Structures are given as C-alpha cells and as structure tokens.
Structure 1
Amino acid sequence: MHSRTPHRGRGAAVTAVLALMFMGAAEAPALAETSREQQWFLDAMHAEEMWKATTGKGITVAVIDTGVDPTNPDLKGRILPGRDLAEDLSGDAHTDYDGHGTGMAGLIAGTGSYGGGKGSFGLAPGSKILPVRMPNPLEAGNEAEASKRFNETLPTAIRYAVDNGARVINISLAQREGDPQVTDAVKYALNKGSLVFAGVGNDGDKGNPVMYPAATPGVVGVAAVGRDLRRTSESEFGPQVDMAAPGQDMIHACGGKTGLCRSSGTSDATALASASAALVWSVHPDWTNNQVLRVMLNTLGAPTDGAKRNDSIGYGIVRPRVALTDPGDPGPADVYPLPDLEAAASASPSTAPSGADKGADTAPAAARDEGGDSVPWVAVVVGVAVLLAAALAGVIVVARRRRRAAVPPTTAVSGQLPHPAPGYGPPPGTSDPVHRPGNGPGGF
C-alpha cells in the first residue's frame, strides 16, 4: 500500500483519520539497465519460466483501491473502464488520488513497456485490470466516519467487480472493523465463482490488531515475506493469515512523473497472490474458484516444523510455478477449501485451533493444521467483535512506502536497494519456520 507525504496544514486531520505505515527504506532503488532487474520477487518466483505457459491472459482482476492510472506506460492496454465509488472526488476510476491502486495494478499486470521495454512487470502481465475507486479516507474527517464509509462502499465494490467479470478481486486495503454487509458481499462473490484476496495489515510490530476485510470469512488473508522468505516485521500475524507472498523492496509501475515506485507491505503481497490466481486460472479456465484456491493451497511453500500452518505465513508462501507444473487434484468444485466459512456459519463453532475444527476436512491435505499454538478462528469471528465494540473505530489503512523513488526517464531507477531490515521473522516467543523448496538460488 502506498503514500504521498501529506500537506503540512492537514497533519492533524491525517493523523486522526489514517495510521500511515511507512514501509521500506528511504534510499532510492539501485541503478540498473532495466526496472525488471530490480524485481527480485519475479526471479524468486521463476516468472519467465511461468510466462512460457501463461501470462494470465483471459483473466480479469479487480483492483478495489484508490483508482488506476491507465496512462502509466507499463499499464497501457491493460486497464478496463471500471467504476468510481469516490463520489466526493473529481475524476473517475482512472483517476488515482494516491498512486496506490496503480501500484497494485502494476504488480499484477505490468507489461514492462516503460522506456521502450525497460519498465517493470507484473506477475500476470497478460491479465486485465478492472479498477474500482474507493472513497479517500482523508475526506472523512475522523476515524469513525472513514470506517463507516469504507464498510458502506466495499460491498458495492465487490458486487460490481463480480458482476463485471472479475474472477479475482484484490483488496490491498485494511481497517479495524468488520461489517455484515461486507461478509454478505464476500459470500456473493464466492457463490458467483470469484476469489477475494486482502492484505492482513502492516501493524505486526505495533500491536498486531486484526484487520478487515482480510479477517472476513471467505477472504484469503495474505501476509508479506521478505527476501529471506520470512514474515516481515510489519506484516501482521494470526489465524486470519491464509498464505504469504513477497512484500519487501517491490519495484513496480505506479503514479508519478516517472511511472515507477518502490514499496513494501501486505498490499504488495496481496497483489502477487491475486496475480498467482490469475495465472493458474488462465491455464485452467474451467476450474471453479474453489479448485483454483485449493491448488494454490496444495502447492504453497509450507512451514517445516511439522505443522500445516502457522500464524505468520498461514499455510505457506504462494508458488504459482508449482501450481502450474504440478497442480495435483483440484478437488471438489463446490467446496470452499479454507475452514473459515464453515466455522463462521456453525451454530456452535469449534474452539480448536484454526484448521483443526470441523472445517478442516474441506481443506487440502497440504493445508490442514494438525495442531500448534494458533489462536482459534472463532476468536476472530466472535471474540474480536466483542473487543472491537469497546475500542475506537479503526482507521482505514494502506500499507505504504516511505517515499516514491525518483526515477529518471533514461535510467529507470537509481540508488541501492537495502538488505532485509533486522527484526524480520517470528513474533517474540514464537517460531516462524518457512519451507525453502530448493528450486534454485533464492527461488521458491
């Protein structure tokens, strides 16, 4: 997720409405012949190898965000008309008031066209982006109103995306209150055959509050890992985490004069999870949403401590290359493969650890939790609602970069990309093992 530096005169209002989480280092990115050379996550995911089989062509990914700029060189020809739900702002779905939505679209569908082929790529460059612009929370004036507007608008955004052909719905936004109308919209999306991915938030090192819609039943909650394939310090953890993807030092298309930015956070990880689903779906267009998600879960790089999941990376790190080359049995077409839907719908849900409850038999074998110290999912579905009722309305959060990389048109990006920051890994007192399948140096 992403940020501009706010105007000084609006500092108090900005603080009241948003918790800006500035991710990444302040240095500009490293000098390189092309932006693609900076995109370590594409190398780690063996993108070029996958692109020989598919680029995600034929799949529409909805980006519910701040708008998407179709004039960005790396996104020309990839952006559909979309819908504007930010009624108080000028422009439309193609007017990105923050640059964040364009960045997420770039990570999903960037074509590398900037500078005559020296630009940045998305993981699924053949996919199409359906932009749905959400209201700017800075216009709300206070936290409660911002949260209210978000939850009132998001159901419409999700339903619009589904009704306009989006098989994958990317929500790289988060806030602290769930809402029954959002839950109903997610169920609508699943029943209509779509998948919904959302970032779990970037306050893992600042209280780790449960964030929505990632914690909404039926939404695939995505955490972020760094170059070392461990949870980044800011990535939130808990039973709401279903999978993880790279979310550190990400070079991608975005707003601004140069059209390139660097960012870190669960927003970026969510975009890569969404793009992964697009790749798998493009090769298997007859699979249902449940089958696509099941294959993704079956092929994750899983924890190695004997558990089937942990609260830092969920069931593991997304590996679309493996999902494409060795998908295994996609399983039943009409059974959602994660336990949260059944647990939430149960009149007396189990208090066993997430994945070990009665919904576990619907999860793929590689994604079941046989135990561990995970907080029960029911704690999210029931307990969190009670806790949040006594708390202040949460702020709508976008996982953000510290600043945009100034990118000269002739040199793409300049500076030095930092190494992983200290403190990455498990929360205090826990372990955070990550499977490294050994698919080449730095690969997974």
Structure 2
Amino acid sequence: MKRRMAMVLGPVVAALGIAAPSSARADVQCAPPGTPWPGTPWQQQVLTPERVRPFADGSGVVVAVLSTGVDATQPQLAGSVEPGYDAVAGHGAAHDDCVGIGTAVAGAIAAHAGSGSGSVAGIGGVVGLAPNARILPVRVSDGSGQADQGTDPSVLAAGITFAVLHGAAIVDVAEPAYRSSPELSAAVALAAQRNVVLVVAAGVAAASGRPAVTPVPAWSAGSSGIGGAGGTLVVGALDSNGRRWSSSPVGSFIGLAAPGVATVCLARGGGVAAIDGTDVASGFVAGTAALVVQRRPQASAGAVVGQLMGTATPVAGPGSTEYGHGMVNPYSAVTAALVPARTGSVVAAERTAPPPPAPTDRHTLALALTAIALIAALTVALGRPVALRGRRSRWRASTAGGEATWAAPGQAGAPVDLFQGLDTES
C-alpha cells in the first residue's frame, strides 16, 4: 500500500477538520479529499466509456470491491454503495475509507458523471465504466501493512465469502494475498460454484533479483496457459504510453493489463487524486466485466473471462508474461459476439440445451435413413426449376428478407496505435 500513498496522503486530517472514520486506527492519518478535475483523464481517452454507454451501463450488476473500504459519501458514488462488511475487524460495515484506495477502485467501476467542473462535488471528466452498477465494499486491508506482504489469507477468505453470499456477480480482489490457506481455497471454490467472476490485482513486483510473487487467488487458475482458467483473471498495470508499470509483476498468471499509472481516480471525501497500482487497474477490468455480465446475463463466469481476454487490445505478442492477452477493451468486450472457448482456459459458451440423443436401434436408424432419402428426392425435384430460373437470370445476386442474428454495430477490431497522440494535458 505504501508504494504510492505519497500521491494521496497530504496534510493531517485534524488540520483539515475532517473526522477519521470509525474503522481507522488512531495512529493513522487518513487521506485528505482530492481536488477538482475538469479535464478528461488519460485512461478514459483510451478506454472510451462513452462508446459503451449505448449498450450497457452496469445496471442490475453488483460488484464487490475487496480493498480498504469505499467512501459512500463521495459525491460521484452517492447512492451506489452498499454498507458492505469489514472483514479486518470481523464485524461492521465498510462504507467508509480512511486510506482511499478502495474508493479509487470503486470510482473506476461506477463513478457517476460530475455535474460540472468548478467544484469538488462536480468533477467534469472522471466517470466509471459501469456507472449504474452497485458497489459492495468489503474491507480486507486497513493500509497498515507493506504492499509486498499481501492480505491475510483468512481475512481475504472471509471477504470473498461475504461478497459471494451477498449477491456479487464480480468480486474485485484489489488487495490480493501471497499465500493460500484452506479457508481461502474454500472461498474461491464457493465463488466458482456460484458462477462469480474473480478479478484479481496482480499486486506489486518483488524486490530486484527475486522471482515474481504470484498473487492469490491466481493459483486457482491452474498452470494451463497465460491468464488462467475458469472465472479468475489477474490484472497488471500500464502507463499512458502502453508500457508496463515498473512495479507491476511479470508472470504467466497475468491475464490482462489496464491503466494503472498516474490514473485520475476518485478520492475519499470528494475530488480526485492521481494513483498508481494494479489495484486501480483491476477496477477497470471489473467495470468491464460488469458490462459484459449485464449484456450477457446467461454467460458463465468462464465465458465472461474469455470474452475479456479474447477482445483485449494487443500490447505485445500473444501470451505475454507482462501484459497477458493485452489491454482490456470495454467496447469490444461488450459489442463483440461471445468469444468461443480457447485452449488453456475454461471458457464456456452461454448455456444451451443438450442435443437430442442419437438413434440407437436398427428400427430407428431405418426410419432416419428413409427420411433422409425422401428429403433428398424432394430437394432434387424442387431444385430443378430453381436451377433453370437461375440459369436464365445468369445467377444475379438478390437479397432475401428475414431477421438477422444479433451482431455488433460496426464490430470493433483491435485498435492500432492506441496510445498515439494521447492528450494527457487536459
């Protein structure tokens, strides 16, 4: 957590006249409110949430944010934050946030558009990818530990379990663990059983010269290829030039990348602040997952993860250990047809009825062959006049009526030079 708090922490809370939330430790100075931001943050110039809005806005989808809590009084989250649960304390709600990271992640998912640009209460450009989603805050960290130590597995297990049992379709594990436990394994299994998508921040890279630390629950994805399997997806962080954040881990567990360097995010108490981290990057992926779930409510958790990976914007070669399948692409994820299953990941298509059983006895087989013969004869008889008419018209093309299957309007391909010419000064 301390890796980028200097960008958020400021004057002492008491000097600002702001009361610390009840969940904050007495020796911790809570992050102050942010400042107004009238421009358009770079991450929104890249992710273009306005293009997705005609198709999905997160309505009806609950996204759990497992982090430091979420400030329900943040003007751009007003009315969207449930009481939640404080898994650190083992009781109570989590709709306050001393540290500010959980609020930043929640804003990436569901920040409402501001009413203006001249005040903290009305921020001009910061909006979430799924502004109508419901946020279920679950506190799994109070900001007191070192970032590379990870979250206590038992606390994380309690947080995941609470989120799954309280209606979350997506669980954003913004503060991962780095070791497992029987309780955490059971919580991840419960998420899989309930068809819940787990979006997991990759955490921070290990010290120089040490191997990458694998975040948990990334282990549940198995070792069958980049990005894992089933409904679990690990997210790394990019800067505005499309490069990996220097502290974003490298490994085969990375499934996607998303903006996570100097990202302009909601701050606790109002306004915005610039944040670095894979935790906020996970918010952009969780917000996109909420859009896909709204658009395809019958899709399995594995299908949602497959859709996110299969429609990503390439950043490096396929299967990169830095970027996974590329940068999350909200517009393509929502508008593209459901991506079919790919080797190395458990990506199921939308649930369909099983095919009818094949004939098994000789009598049934004889009937089937007779029917096929009759259909073939009828086809030949009817096809002759059609063929003659076709010859007379020299097979000129014609259009036929009928309703087409759903397809994306102007199906989005992989953008080229996505970061070129980006206006980061606005």
**Contact kept? 2:308, 2:333, Cα under 8 Å:** yes
- Aligned residue among 268, 271, 278 for 2:290: 278
Distance between the aligned counterparts of 2:132 and 2:147, measured in 1? Answer: 38
The alignment status of 1:293 with 2:305, answered yes or no, reads yes
Report 1:23-172 matches (<5 A): 35=37, 37-87=39-89, 92-113=93-114, 115-116=121-122, 118=124, 120-136=126-142, 138=144, 150-172=152-174
SS at match of 1:35: coil
Does structure 1 retain, via aligned residues, the 8 Å contact 2:242–2:419? no
Aligned with residue 337 of structure 2, among 327, 335, 349: 327
What value does the CA root-mean-square deviation take over the aligned residues? 3.3
**5+ unaligned residues in a row in structure 1: which ranges?**
9-28, 332-336, 338-358, 365-434
Residue 197 of structure 1 contacts residue 214 of structure 1 at CA under 8 Å; is this kept in 2? no
Distance 2:420 2:93 in 1: 44
Q: Which of 216, 240, 243 does residue 253 from structure 2 map onto? A: 240
List runs of 5+ in structure 2 lacking aligned partners.
13-33, 115-119, 222-231, 349-413
Counting only pairs closer than 5 Å after superposition, residues 340-355 of structure 1 correspond to structure 2 as none
Offset of 1:266 from its aligned partner?
Answer: 0.7
Residue 227 to residue 193, structure 1, CA distance change in 2 (3 Å): same
Corresponding residue for 2:203?
Answer: 201
Question: So what's the TM-score if we normalise by structure 1?
Answer: 0.64
**Whole-angstrom CA distance in 2 between matches of 1:304 and 1:132:** 34
Shift of 1:68: 0.8
Residue 184 of structure 1, CA deviation: 2.3
In 1: Cα distance, 2:419 partner to 2:278 partner: 25
Q: Whose relative contact order is higher, 1 or 2, with alpha carbons under 8 Å and at least 6 apart?
A: 1
In structure 2, what is the Cα distance between the partners aligned to 1:104 and 1:311?
24
Counterpart in 2 of 1:25? none
Once residues 136 and 86 of structure 2 are traced to their aligned partners in structure 1, the CA distance between those partners, rounded to angstroms, is 11
Aligned partner of 2:326 in structure 1 is 316
Q: Is the alpha carbon distance of 1:108 and 1:159 closer, same or farther for their aligned partners in structure 2, counting shifts above 3 Å? A: same
Q: SS in structure 2 opposite 1:74? A: helix
Instruction: State the partner residue of 1:437.
Output: 416
| TM-score where L is the length of structure 2 | 0.66
Which SS does the other structure have where 1:153 is aligned? helix
Displacement of 1:174: 3.3
Separation of aligned partners in 2, 1:361 and 1:289: 12
Aligned residues: 317
CA contact (8 A) 1:111 1:119 kept: no
Deviation per CA, 1:269-289, whole angstroms, max 9, x where unpaired? 111110110111111122221
The answer to whether residue 344 in structure 2 is matched with residue 360 in structure 1 is yes
Deviation at 1:181, TM superposition (A): 2.3
2:237·2:244 contact (CA, 8 Å) conserved in 1? yes
| Residues 165 and 304 of structure 1: CA distance in aligned 2, closer, same or farther (over 3 Å) | same
Residues 1:59 and 1:330: Cα distance change in structure 2 (over 3 Å): farther
Candidates 173, 176, 187, aligned match of 1:174: 176
How far 1:328 sits from its partner (Å)? 3.8
Stretches (4+) displaced over 6 A: none
Query: Which of these residues, 252, 259, 277, is aligned with residue 265 of structure 2?
Result: 252
Report the residue type matching 1:111 in the other structure.
Answer: H
Distance 2:65 2:180 in 1: 20
Give yes or no for contact 1:204–1:237 (8 Å, CA) kept in 2.
Answer: no
| C-alpha spacing 1:314/1:440, structure 2 compared with 1 (3 Å) | closer
Contact 1:254 1:260 in 2 (8 A): yes
SS of the equivalent of 1:276 reads helix
